[in-house]
């Protein structure tokens, strides 16, 4: 029986993928170079600006935003002050700024790509049938795997890190946008249609506003996923807190690993609560 | 005068539509078509016309296709075959732009669960139709405020729909529809989600409004009482087919088939109402005392042309008509006995209305109601129908 199985030669899946990748890198290398250089410059500029802000000002700013975003409650504001001070105190401030830039870039790109795809999915059952399995594939594939094409396209550094994070963090925004629009009550869609709305009017005046909180939940997921990818992306040279975790791992420094890991947790909690409270604000 | 004309309209949901359509043409039944093709018949060869300024009620139980039918009229659902003419133009052949124009300018819809946008204020909801038409901000605000003012809702314009009661929300829904100043209002179970008292109030308001604005209204309902109260004409649907079209009276007195009959029996109050509930005070003439001149005087006073005749003990004796009384008065007769007619049917006051409906429709005269040989009331066709439609007893059949 096993002989019969063995009689079939190994299918050239790996070779094929490699060939495709080679072709892509070969044919589009000017584009990739451009993105790599442009992206790197933009991100370094942002990081530079963030680092230039005095830490005290930055901490107070975040605390203020947290205070007003949570309807003038002190909980998150105090947590932000204590948590950010801890990160500063441990000498990880610059790494934090790098991480923030990476998360912001990856999230914004994922949202810009994800929401239109989600809208397309909600409008066309054919598109949904095609995109859904792709999303499943993207979410079940281990995050590490995305590092390989990222390196192939962009070499090492921050841009491939963002690239891998975008792919990894994209699915929730797409899914939740689709879900949110499909969940708009049928009667309201009919109301919009019966008054002679165009497709765009219906989308902008009725569907997106009503899907808003669902889409925001997806964006919250996307932001957190891109943060979790930041650690992994440090393997291909993306700067930030992830790199500290990685180097602690490589040298078996439990203490340093814990410090950097805790910093990531603090940062994750702050952006999670902030994006969630943005969602609750209006309703 | 003809505003909407529906010709051989069929709507089939599902696959194998061409096969199903063939079976429809072969006059196969809904279940048979479902078994053979898997397609569901939404509406099946509907034909009717609605005149300008008319309230046309489409009535049926759930699943009868009435909501599908109203959505075919503004093409929220596309027809499978047949034609729908609005002011002579076939909307099933229109492109998207023409259709949008019709929806924006000619017809507005009011929904069962109000269909208000929760993130918009009452004013912004009312403005919606004008907004998508591209009417300038200031102008649409004025129009919307006027529509809200007419509905008595102007003070609530900055509130959100969820802050209003159901009845008020539906008034906003109606104001939104009217702000567009459409010729045609499509009302899909518009009052069905409201409690009976509010519902009756809204029905009255709609009738008042109709007096003023004279729209063409298509009103969908599952409630016979509502249909009878507000409909100029009623179309009764079952399994996607229109079974009967007529005025409330025509349908009540002359049901097209057994289904209509059972539907009426099922829903109406004729089962529980007795003759006593529907009768009115009789205008009488005493044959032992009164002459033709007194009778004529009383007819003028009460604005009737027939008097019921009784004796001193109030026993029913017959009736006299104005024509006969006039003749007799000219001849100088002193008594009404000479031209007394006795062919008026009588019924006991505790008889069920259901059992006298046939008699009412056949009898050329009103019907006398007696109790132990004494005249206690009279049944007049219009009043009977009105009492069947009234809400006071609360026996409406709701889903």
Q: What is the pLDDT of residues B79-113, one digit of tens each?
A: 988 899 999 899 988 899 999 999 999 999 999 99
Alpha-carbon Rg for chain A, nearest whole angstrom, is: 22
State mean pLDDT over B43-61. 91
A vs B: CB pairs below 8 A: 61
Q: Quick check: B178 contacting A, CB < 8 Å?
A: no
pLDDT (0 to 100) of residue B329: 85
pLDDT (0 to 100) of residue B348: 87
Contacts of B99 in chain A (CB under 8 A): 196
pLDDT (0 to 100) of residue B270: 54
Predicted confidence (pLDDT) per residue in B136-179, tens digit: 999 999 999 999 998 889 999 999 999 999 889 999 999 999 99
Q: Are residues A196 and B71, on separate chains, in Cβ contact within 8 Å?
A: no
Nearest CB partner across the interface for B111, out of A191, A196, A212: A191
Give CA–CA dist A166/A143, Å, rounded. 11
**Residues whose CB is less than 8 angstroms from the CB of residue B287 and which lie 6 or more positions away in sequence, other chains included:** B309, B310, B311, B317, B335, B336, B337, B340
Report the side by side order of strands in the sheet with B107-110: B107-110, B184-188, B216-221, B55-59, B233-238, B241-246
ipTM above 0.90, yes or no: no
CB B134 within 8 A of CB B81: no
Q: Are residues B131 and A191, on separate chains, in Cβ contact within 8 Å?
A: no
Q: Are residues B132 and A191, on separate chains, in Cβ contact within 8 Å?
A: no
The nearest CA of chain B is from the CA of A181 a distance in Å of: 14
Give CA–CA dist A234/A241, Å, rounded. 8
Q: Quick check: B113 contacting A, CB < 8 Å?
A: yes
The nearest CA of chain B is from the CA of A203 a distance in Å of: 12
Q: Quick check: A125 contacting B, CB < 8 Å?
A: no
User: What is the share, in percent, of chain B residues with pLDDT greater than 90?
Assistant: 32
Give CA–CA dist A87/A263, Å, rounded. 6
**Residues whose CB is less than 8 angstroms from the CB of residue A249 and which lie 6 or more positions away in sequence, other chains included:** A257
Contacts of A212 in chain B (CB under 8 A): 119
Give CA–CA dist B31/B22, Å, rounded. 15
Helix (H) or strand (E) holding B209: helix B196-213
Nearest CB partner across the interface for B132, out of A190, A196, A210: A196
Q: Are residues B100 and A196, on separate chains, in Cβ contact within 8 Å?
A: yes
The number of angstroms, rounded, from the C-alpha of A206 to the middle of its chain's C-alpha atoms is: 27
Structure tokens of B340?
A: 């007394």
CB B145 within 8 A of CB B123: yes
Give CA–CA dist B317/B330, Å, rounded. 23
CB A86 within 8 A of CB A266: yes
Predicted confidence (pLDDT) per residue in B224-280, tens digit: 888 888 899 999 998 888 989 998 878 877 777 777 777 666 555 555 567 877 788
Q: Quick check: A204 contacting B, CB < 8 Å?
A: no
**Residues whose CB is less than 8 angstroms from the CB of residue B166 and which lie 6 or more positions away in sequence, other chains included:** B114, B193, B194, B195, B198
Predicted confidence (pLDDT) at residue B397 exceeds the cutoff of 50: no
| Residue B395 banded pLDDT, cuts 50, 70, 90 | very low
DSSP B49-90: EEETT-EEEEE--TTSSHHHHHHHHTTSS--SEEEEEETTEE
Structure tokens of B240?
A: 């996607």
Predicted confidence (pLDDT) at residue B393 exceeds the cutoff of 50: no
The nearest CA of chain A is from the CA of B98 a distance in Å of: 10
The nearest CA of chain B is from the CA of A202 a distance in Å of: 9
Nearest CB partner across the interface for B109, out of A185, A194, A201: A194
The 10 Å Cβ neighbour count of residue A11 is 8
- Closest-CA residue of A relative to B103 is A196
pLDDT (0 to 100) of residue A32: 84
Instruction: For chain B, give every residue range classified as CATH 3.40.50.300.
Output: 2-106+182-267
Q: In the 8-state DSSP scheme, what is residue B182?
A: -
H-state helical runs in chain A: 2-7, 13-52, 55-69, 75-89, 93-123, 125-140, 147-154, 158-182, 186-194, 199-202, 208-233, 241-250, 254-280
- Closest-CA residue of B relative to A208 is B119
Structure tokens of B225?
A: 């009482």
The CATH number of B275-389 is 3.10.580.10
Give CA–CA dist B390/B228, Å, rounded. 9
Instruction: For chain B, give every residue range classified as CATH 3.10.580.10.
Output: 275-389
**Domain B2-106+182-267 adopts which CATH fold?**
Rossmann fold (3.40.50)
Q: Quick check: B118 contacting A, CB < 8 Å?
A: yes
Q: Which segments in chain A show pLDDT lower than 50? A: 283
Nearest CB partner across the interface for B100, out of A187, A198, A209: A198
Q: Which of A138, A243, A204 shows the shortest CA–CA distance to B132?
A: A204
Annotate B148-180 with b (16+ C-beta within 10 A) or e (fewer). Answer: bebbebbebbeebbeebebbbbbbbbbbbbbbb
Give CA–CA dist B309/B343, Å, rounded. 12
CB B43 within 8 A of CB B17: no
Helix (H) or strand (E) holding B323: helix B322-331
Structure tokens of B275?
A: 């003759």
Q: Are residues A187 and B133, on separate chains, in Cβ contact within 8 Å?
A: no
Annotate B103-121 with b (16+ C-beta within 10 A) or e (fewer). Answer: bbebbbbbbbbbbbbebbb
Contacts of B100 in chain A (CB under 8 A): 196, 198
Nearest CB partner across the interface for A201, out of B71, B107, B132: B132
Predicted confidence (pLDDT) at residue B399 exceeds the cutoff of 50: no
Contacts of B116 in chain A (CB under 8 A): 191
Predicted confidence (pLDDT) per residue in B277-325, tens digit: 778 888 888 888 888 888 888 888 888 888 888 888 888 888 888 888 8
Q: Are residues A193 and B76, on separate chains, in Cβ contact within 8 Å?
A: yes
pLDDT (0 to 100) of residue B392: 41
CB B6 within 8 A of CB B46: yes
Q: Does domain A14-52+90-280 match CATH 1.10.3720.10?
A: yes
């Amino acid at each position: 029986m096993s002989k019969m199985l063995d009689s079939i030669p190994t299918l050239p899946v790996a070779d094929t993928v490699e060939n495709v990748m080679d072709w892509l890198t070969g044919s589009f290398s000017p584009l990739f170079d451009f993105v790599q250089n442009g992206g790197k410059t933009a991100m370094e500029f942002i990081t530079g600006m963030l680092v230039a802000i005095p830490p005290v000002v930055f901490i107070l700013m975040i605390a203020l935003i947290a205070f007003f975003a949570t309807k003038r409650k002190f909980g998150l504001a105090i947590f932000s002050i204590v948590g950010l001070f801890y990160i500063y105190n441990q000498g990880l401030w610059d790494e934090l700024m790098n991480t923030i830039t990476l998360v912001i870039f990856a999230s914004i790109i994922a949202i810009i790509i994800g929401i239109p795809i989600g809208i397309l999915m909600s409008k066309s059952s054919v598109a949904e049938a095609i995109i859904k399995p792709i999303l499943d594939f993207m979410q079940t594939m281990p995050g590490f795997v995305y590092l390989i094409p990222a390196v192939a396209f962009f070499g090492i550094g921050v841009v491939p890190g963002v690239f891998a994070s975008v792919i990894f963090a994209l699915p929730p925004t797409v899914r939740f946008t689709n879900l949110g629009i499909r969940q708009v009550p049928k009667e309201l869609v009919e109301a919009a249609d019966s008054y002679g709305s165009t497709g765009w009017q219906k989308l902008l005046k009725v569907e997106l506003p009503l899907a808003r909180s669902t889409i925001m939940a997806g964006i919250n997921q996307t932001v957190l996923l891109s943060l979790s990818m930041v650690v992994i992306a440090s393997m291909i040279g993306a700067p930030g807190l992830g790199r500290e975790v990685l180097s602690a791992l490589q040298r078996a420094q439990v203490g340093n690993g814990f410090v950097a890991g805790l910093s990531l947790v603090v940062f994750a909690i702050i952006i999670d609560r902030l994006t969630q409270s943005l969602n609750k604000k209006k309703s | 005068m003809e505003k909407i004309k529906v010709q051989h309209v069929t709507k089939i949901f599902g696959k194998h539509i061409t096969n199903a359509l063939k079976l429809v043409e072969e006059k196969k039944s809904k279940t048979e078509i479902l078994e053979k093709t898997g397609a569901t018949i939404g509406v099946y060869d509907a034909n009717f016309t609605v005149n300008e300024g008319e309230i046309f009620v489409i009535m049926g139980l759930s699943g009868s296709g009435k909501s599908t039918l109203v959505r075919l009229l503004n093409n929220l659902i596309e027809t499978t075959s047949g034609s729908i003419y609005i002011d002579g133009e076939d909307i099933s052949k229109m492109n998207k732009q023409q259709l949008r124009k019709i929806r924006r300018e000619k017809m507005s819809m009011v929904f069962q669960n109000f269909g208000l946008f929760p993130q918009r204020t009452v004013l912004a909801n009312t403005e919606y139709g004008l907004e998508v038409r591209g009417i300038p901000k200031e102008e649409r605000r004025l129009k919307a405020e006027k529509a809200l003012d007419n509905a008595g809702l102007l003070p609530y314009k900055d509130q959100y729909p969820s802050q209003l009661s159901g009845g008020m929300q539906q008034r906003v829904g109606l104001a939104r529809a009217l702000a567009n100043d459409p010729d045609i209002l499509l009302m899909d179970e518009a009052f069905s989600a409201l409690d009976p008292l509010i519902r009756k109030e809204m029905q009255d308001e709609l009738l008042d409004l109709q007096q003023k604005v004279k729209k063409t209204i298509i009103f969908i309902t599952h409630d016979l009482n509502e249909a009878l109260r507000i409909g100029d004409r009623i179309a009764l649907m079952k399994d996607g087919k229109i079974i009967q079209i007529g005025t409330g009276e025509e349908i009540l007195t002359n049901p097209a088939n057994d289904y209509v009959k059972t539907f009426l029996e099922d829903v109406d109050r004729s089962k529980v109402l007795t003759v006593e509930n529907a009768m009115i005070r009789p205008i009488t003439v005493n044959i032992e005392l009164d002459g033709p001149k007194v009778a004529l005087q009383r007819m003028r006073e009460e604005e009737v042309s027939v008097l019921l005749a009784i004796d001193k003990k109030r026993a029913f004796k017959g009736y006299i008509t104005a024509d006969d009384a006039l003749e007799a008065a000219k001849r100088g007769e002193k008594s009404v006995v000479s031209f007394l007619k006795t062919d008026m049917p009588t019924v006991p006051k505790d008889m069920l209305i259901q059992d006298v409906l046939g008699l009412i429709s056949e009898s050329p005269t009103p019907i006398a109601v007696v109790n132990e040989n004494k005249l206690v009331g009279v049944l007049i066709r219009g009043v009977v129908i009105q009492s069947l439609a009234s809400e006071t007893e609360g026996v409406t059949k709701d889903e």
